[in-house]
Amino acid sequence: MRISIGCDHIVTEVKDHFVKYLAESGHEVIDNGTHDKERTHYPIYGKKTAEKVVLGAADLGIVICGTGVGISVSANKVQGARAALVRDVEAARYAKENLHANIIAMGGRITGIGLMEDIVDAFIKTKYKATPEEEEVIKKIDRLICNEEQLNNDHYFDEFIDKWEQGAYQD
Ligand code: RB5
């Protein structure tokens, strides 16, 4: 399977763990970064990771930040993304099987690495069970956001990056 993955600087080592874990399991991994611990912004990587999925370069996405909240909210702003923030295996299964989630989000400072592996495995293995009702709902959800300014625009967050570089933000 082709899997798009991204994280912020808080959990780079967790994302790197999954890049290796997925590659060793035979998946093709698109690593959208971030690649080091330098302070950055989670929406950049939520957006990049989700876009690979909705534009068809990847089959599924995985997004990770400290809590999983910021990056899942950001990924969900990409039209066609259905990112589920989960902390347990059952929710991951449900998200895929019933809600056709195409991205799983986790908090790398919240959930242990072993449980995250189980969540990812369950999400990948579980098949979506389409029903006519669910298909209708998903079509509606996918039409909710349409913003051509942001789609596939890697410079959408440049203003924030400039501010980081100028020292405008404190962690
Ligand atoms: C750091 O930017 C932190 O806010 C982020 O990793 C995440 O926990 C947000 O939900």
Could you tell me the distance, in angstroms and rounded to a whole number, from the CA of residue 132 to the centre of ligand 1?
37
Q: Of all atoms in ligand 1, which is nearest to the CA of residue 70?
A: 10
Domain range annotation of the chain: 2-146
Question: Above 80 in pLDDT, residue 148?
Answer: no
What is residue 64's predicted lDDT score, i.e. its pLDDT? 98
Provide long-range contacts, Cβ within 8 A and 24+ apart, for 156-160.
156/47, 157/41, 157/43, 157/44, 157/47, 160/41, 160/44
Task: Select from 37, 68, 43 the least CA-distant residue to 160.
Answer: 43
Confidence bin at 164 (pLDDT 50/70/90): confident
What is residue 152's predicted lDDT score, i.e. its pLDDT? 76
Confidence bin at 157 (pLDDT 50/70/90): confident
Whether 12 is in the pocket of ligand 1, judged by its Cβ within 6 Å, is no
On whether the 2-146 domain is CATH 3.40.630.30, my answer is no
Whether 8 is in the pocket of ligand 1, judged by its Cβ within 6 Å, is yes
Give the type of residue at 41.
H
Q: What is the pLDDT of residues 45-103, one digit of tens each?
A: 999 999 999 999 999 999 999 999 999 999 999 989 999 999 999 999 999 999 999 99
Tally of residues, the chain: 171
Phi-psi domain of 19 (left: phi exceeds 0; alpha: psi -120 through 50; beta: other)? alpha
Task: Select from 55, 167, 157, 52 the least CA-distant residue to 63.
Answer: 52
